[in-house]
Amino acid sequence: MMYPYITLPDETEIIHSQILDKDGVRSVEVHFERPTEHGFDTARCSLPDYRWIEREGFTDKEIQDFTTLLEHNAHLIYRFAERGGACCA
């Protein structure tokens, strides 16, 4: 299940998964998507290790900015992921 988190001014939408439990490690996947003329720019990051597992169309600077955003918001994203999204938190 994926839950909406925020839409940035450039129309990048950020959504996140529910809590994923793999071998006792609680993780969340965060997906970034921005509409373009020919489709979408997309990126996906796995928390808690901030590992980018997918990336297409976003610049290195944008990924760096997304990483900083995640570092400042990971605690909220985990809280929302545990409770079924921001609308239910």
- CA dihedral (46, 84, 15, 9) in degrees, to 10, reads -130
Q: What is the mean pLDDT of the chain?
A: 94
Length of the chain: 89
Domain region containing 34: 2-88
Chain segment 25-83, per-residue pLDDT in tens? 999 999 999 999 999 999 999 999 999 999 999 999 999 999 999 999 999 999 999 98
Domain count within the chain: 1
pLDDT class of 89 with cuts at 50, 70, 90: very low
Evaluated on CA atoms 72, 78, 65, 37, the torsion sign reads: negative
pTM: 0.90
